Amino acid sequence: MTIVDTRIKHGDASDGLLGGRLARIDGPAKITGAADYAMEHAPEGMVYAVIVDSTIASGRVVAIDTSAAEAYPGVLMVLTPDNALTIKTATDWTGAPPPAVPYEPLAREITFAGQHIAAVIAETFEQATAAAALVKVTYEETAPISSFDDPRSGEGYPIDMMTKEWGDAEAALAIAPVRIEQEYKTPREYNVPIEPHGLIAHWEGDMLTLWEPSQWIDGMSRTYAEWFSIPFENVRMLSPYIGGGFGSKALPTRYGAVAAIAARMLDRPVKLAITRPQTFTAFGGRPATRQTIALGATREGKLLSIVHRSANETSMDDVAVEPLGSVTSIMYAVPNFSSRQNIVPVNTVKPGALRAPGENPSAFGIECAIDELAYEVGIDPLDIRLLNYAEEDPHAKKPWSTRRLREAYAAGAEAFGWAKRSPSVRSMREGKQLIGYGVAAGTYPVRRTPGEAMVRILSNGTVEVASSGIDMGQGTYTILAQTAAEAIGVPVETVVVKLGDSALPRAPVAGGSQLANLMTGAVHVAALAARDELIGLAINDQNSPFRDLQANTLTIEGGQMSSPRDAGSSVAIADVMRRTGRDRIEALRNTLPESLRNKDDHFRNFTTISTMLSPTEGDYSMHSWCVHFVEVRVDVDFGTVRVSRMVSALDSGRLYNPKLAESQWKGGIIMGIGQALLEEGLVDQRNGHVMNNNLGDYLVPTNADIPDLKVISVGVPDTNASILGGKAVGELAIVGVAPAIANAVYHATGIRVRDLPITLEKLI
Amino acid sequence: MSNQTTINLEINGRIQSLAVEPRVTLLDALRDHLELTGTKKGCDQGQCGACTVHVDGERVLSCLTLAVQVEGRAVTTIEGLSDPGAELHPVQSAFLEHDAFQCGYCTPGQIMSAVSCIREGHAGSDEEIREYMSGNLCRCGAYPHIVEAVREAAKVMS
């Protein structure tokens, strides 16, 4: 359990209120090295596990010779499919009941390179690493299908629930005065949090403690419980700080099962930290995608039809869908629309979620295509977006709850100086640098799951907030302290926030950019309940200093209680607590609807995504919106691209802490710059290996790649979207960055790159 | 092999004795043997900078340094940059003020590099700061704020 207290110097008291620019309250721990990340715990007697991975991508394991590894000093066990404890398959994250077959985290049948096949457990990390290299595996290899670029992979199969159609798109396209059609591709991309994945598993009898970086304490705890057939309450997962996740730390993994099995079998705490190269194959990043987009339009650029066909890679044994029509279907007003999607099985680990799964590549397609149409009909790329502005959700046919995209276009264009753009391609130049301006929009839906929180007012007047929700850098600790401080009326410094522990009240996944909204909502409700109880106590208790006032209510400000009838005399909360003899006031509240408040639905709400509401559930269509304006400079001889300037205007509704929200937006934008110019999982087509499985070869942005970034908030509170008016923040800002850069590169060079990343060989 | 050797390391001004195998890296010695987990393991192959510490005042990747190599040399980690309870180092304060981190995992390495970047005289312009801070990856994307923090801290330190 981690307690973060809030002794932070800040500008003025209003910083502590919701909407204030309070510095992050977990900051002091992080800048001094005191923050205890999950895998930095060291239970007595801990031993180390190292995973042995498959070196082939397709075939089967014929034999595993463990003798040399077992004979190595310090080795306690070599775990293989033959000796591993049998565990059950668990309910998946959607809530689908599991098949009644064992779950085998170590494989005999190989469907991708890097699949776990054995694990060595030894007294020290060095011994386990050395011994793992001595495990000899004999394979029977079959020819892999390494990617969906291999013709043998075929067209895959359709995912019918991705089909979105209205009007008659094909017919309207056929008679449209202007038609363009192109294919857009994105490669495999990886999450690459700087904290690698892993865990410490520790059994005490039938109690399992897991120190594991997790975006979803309750969902993952459920899986461990079901794997080992123990009650949910027997699993304690601790994840006080998470060193980045970006979607990759939300679900249980094979190596997690391996560590827990090894710990069970050895009756010792086992630490298993996967290596950096293993972070490219132990779980999946964003799958490779391809989209064909045909636009039909009038000669003035008004859209008549969109026909969208797409596909993403999946693994041989499972279904991963990157929803590629998600932005295509809502960004522009269009009378005829058709979007269909296939998935194509190849020999890869099952792809996972990476920042804005679906919206990100979807926006790359449509936001490049609309730019191409603008040039085709000869109008400004910003004007074509306004011309086709969707006044309501064209797919759901519902009004937007809020859509400040028009305001974003205006604010961004003004701050960027879009009016200075010369319309023709290759028309702006400084010396050897071709200069290009590009624009693209982005969006991310508001996902909603009910939340839960405990708020306590303690006898010394301080306030405690508790939740199993997590903070991986989004600022959860900070905004929940601000929420409670404002709701109760205490200085933010007196609020302590506890997170990242399954022993605390439940929380759904920190994914889909939903956590801030649902947790501030739950804390707000719980804090008001605690405040009401405190006021009731102060009015009614016979020992209360307010008893004689016969007041109907009291106010609380700055930790001081006072009566509207006698504003002059205020009493500290701690004094009221002392005089009335209370050691705490406690309010546990959730925001579940009445229909889901029974025990089973409560559990289901927090351990699966089955109760998450879609953005169009209800009367409105709810999304965050953004636009990016980019200036690129392309070296005329070498084709190197630098992003030299960027302005983004974003509508995330109300910001609970603009300082932290701006950081998250900029982080998304920077990841988008990496996606546009650098990031690409390179697959060896001969053997299915991810060749650049390290940080020297899989390039992510460095400091020198990033210019100053200007972000502008254009949002207004949206109380349809959430209790306190916020919309999605974390995943929004990456959406639209890559197409804005691609469009700027086209403007600079006249070369249209439709397959990411935009590397120099594509420009010379 | 369990051919452990006893070494004496000067970490944050304190001599500490520990028994390790010769192949143990400085990073693992700090994290697994000395309970100094502020120094982070991000890649264990010298590519991310999360493990940056100072050896004799210079920035060094502790994952590419064996513990036995630093006997007799002064090692400073993030825990030793400012005394507990005392005032923060100007770089630490600037990181907090400018929100130069999110998840915080690369942060100790960033801060140790930033202190060196300034001491080396490489904080003269934003462009120079960006270049000399590029050995430390930040996946949360705090780079613009790191540049602001280093620029501000450089003023305080000069």
Q: Residue B19 in contact with residue B4, Cβ under 8 Å? A: yes
Residues of B in contact with A275 (CB under 8 A): 44
For residues A116 and A113, what is the distance between their CA atoms, to the nearest angstrom? 9
Q: Mutate which of B102, B106, B107, B126 to test chain A, going by most A C-beta atoms within 10 A? A: B102
pLDDT digits (tens, 9 = 90+) for A472-530: 999 999 999 999 999 999 999 999 999 999 999 999 999 999 999 999 999 999 999 99
Q: Which residue has the tokens 């099952």?
A: A350
Among A165, A452, A731, A761, the one annotated catalytic = A731
- Torsions phi, psi for A167 (to 5 deg): 65, -155
Task: Assess contact for A167 and A299: CB atoms under 8 A.
Answer: no
CA distance B72 to chain A (A): 24
What's the confidence (pLDDT) of residue A2?
Answer: 45
B57 DSSP assignment: T
DSSP B33: I
| Rounded Cα gap, residues A433 and A748, in angstroms | 9
- DSSP track, A461-493: S-EEEE-S---SSS-HHHHHHHHHHHHHT--GG
**From the list B37, B38, B106, which residue is nearest A194 (CB)?**
B106
Quote the pLDDT of residue A552: 80
Taking alpha carbons only, the member of A351, A379, A385 closest to residue A366 is: A385
Does the pLDDT of residue B89 top 60, yes or no?
yes
- Name the DSSP letter for residue A348: S
Contacts of B32 in chain A (CB under 8 A): 42, 125
User: Which pTM was predicted?
Assistant: 0.97
A706–B130: do the CB atoms touch at under 8 Å? Answer: yes
Amino acid at site A301: G
Cβ density class A180-191: b for 16+ within 10 Å, e for less: beeebbbbbbbb
Chain B residues close to A676, C-beta within 8 Å: none
Residues A266, A235: contact at Cβ < 8 Å? no
Query: Measured between alpha carbons, how far is B132 from B128 in angstroms, rounded to an integer?
Result: 6
Is this complex's ipTM strictly greater than 0.90?
yes
Q: Select the residue of A32, A42, A702 nearest B92 (Cβ to Cβ).
A: A32
- DSSP strand pairing (A428-430 vs A337-346): unpaired
Residue B2's pLDDT is 61
Mutate which: B45, B54, B140, vs A, most A CBs within 10 A? B140
The closest CB to that of B134, out of A127, A242, A704, belongs to A704
Pairing of strands A463-466, A428-430: unpaired
Query: A217-227 and A254-266 are packed helices; what angle lies between their axes, rounded to 10 degrees?
Result: 50
Contact A696 B45 (CB under 8 A): yes
Kindly state the DSSP code that residue A621 receives in the 8-state scheme. Answer: B
The sign one gets for the Cα dihedral B89, B94, B99, B102 is negative
What is the distance in angstroms between the Cα of B85 and the nearest Cα belonging to chain A? 11
Peptide bond into A357 cis (omega under 30): no
| Sheet with A136-141, edge to edge strand ranges | A109-110, A59-65, A136-141
Distance (Å) of CA A286 to CA A168, A314, A366, A379? 32, 10, 18, 34
State both tokens at A227.
Answer: 């794997």
Yes or no, beta carbons of B45 and A241 under 8 Å apart: no
Q: What are phi and psi of A706, to 5 degrees?
A: -115, 125
Candidate from B39, B130, B144 with C-beta closest to A666: B144
Q: Which residue has the tokens 């990157």?
A: A322
Contacts of A37 in chain B (CB under 8 A): 37, 40, 105
The one-letter amino acid at A649: A
Give which of A498, A440, A434 is closest to A5, Cα–Cα.
A498
* Pairwise CA distance, residues A384 & A301, whole Å: 6
Mind telling me how many Å the CA of A362 is from chain B's nearest CA? Answer: 22
DSSP state at residue A522: H
N- to C-terminal Cα separation, chain B: 49
Nearest to B105 among A194, A666, A706 (CB): A194
Closest CA to A668 of A736, A738, A731, A757: A731
Which residues are within 8 A (CB) of A170 and not within 5 positions of it... i.e. 6 or more apart?
A: A305, A307, A338
Cα(A479)–Cα(A469) distance, rounded to whole angstroms? 12
What are the residue ranges in chain A where pLDDT is below 50? 1-2, 4-10
Contacts of A320 (CB under 8 A, 6+ apart): A284, A287, A312, A313, A314, A343, A350, A351, A352
Tokens standing for residue A327: 């932005």
Give the CA-trace dihedral at A111, A113, A119, A123, to 10 degrees: -160
Total count of residues recorded for chain B:
158
The tokens describing A283, both together, are 């779980």
pLDDT for position A567? 65
- Chain A residues whose CB is inside 8 A of the B92 CB are 31-32
Closest partner residue to A663 (CB to CB) among B43, B99, B137 is B99
Contacts of B111 in chain A (CB under 8 A): 31
What's the pLDDT score for residue A6? 45
Looking at residue B84, what is its pLDDT?
78
Minimal-distance CA residue of chain A relative to B148:
A708
Q: In this predicted model, what pLDDT tens digit does every residue of A157-203 receive, in sequence order?
A: 999 999 999 999 999 999 999 999 999 999 999 999 999 999 999 99
Map residue A630 onto helix, strand or coil.
strand
Interface test with B, best of A4, A21, A32, A698 (most B CBs within 10 A): A32
Which residues in chain A have their CB less than 8 angstroms from residue B102's CB?
Answer: 244, 472-475, 663-664, 667
| Residue of chain B nearest A36, judged by CA positions | B37
Task: Tell me, yes or no, if A731 is annotated catalytic.
Answer: yes
Name A498's Cβ contacts closer than 8 Å, sequence gap at least 6: A1, A2, A3, A4, A464, A465, A466, A467, A504
